[in-house]
Amino acid sequence: MATVQASMAGNVWKVLVAEGEEVKAGQDVVILESMKMEIPIAAEEDGTVQKIHVNEGDFVNEAEALIDVE
């Protein structure tokens, strides 16, 4: 199982996937907002979204778990 992590601290602006959804490596799964910039976070490998750890509007720290992909 791979965990998609936040690359920097910021607010979760959009969650682009749902639990059970198939994703491909490189596919954007979450968009963070930090310092008025939108930062897309991509899945690192192909798989199925097992768990979403965040909701839109949540604040996350760098390296915090966002989504589990198996």
Half-sphere exposure of 12 (CA within 13 A, CB side): 23
**Per-residue model confidence as pLDDT tens for the chain (70 residues):** 899 999 999 999 999 999 999 999 999 999 999 999 999 999 999 999 999 999 999 999 999 999 999 9
Domains, the chain, ordered by start: 2-69 (2.40.50.100)
pLDDT of residue 22: 98
pLDDT of residue 54: 98
| pTM reported for the whole predicted model | 0.92
Give which of 28, 1, 3, 12 is closest to 61, Cα–Cα: 12
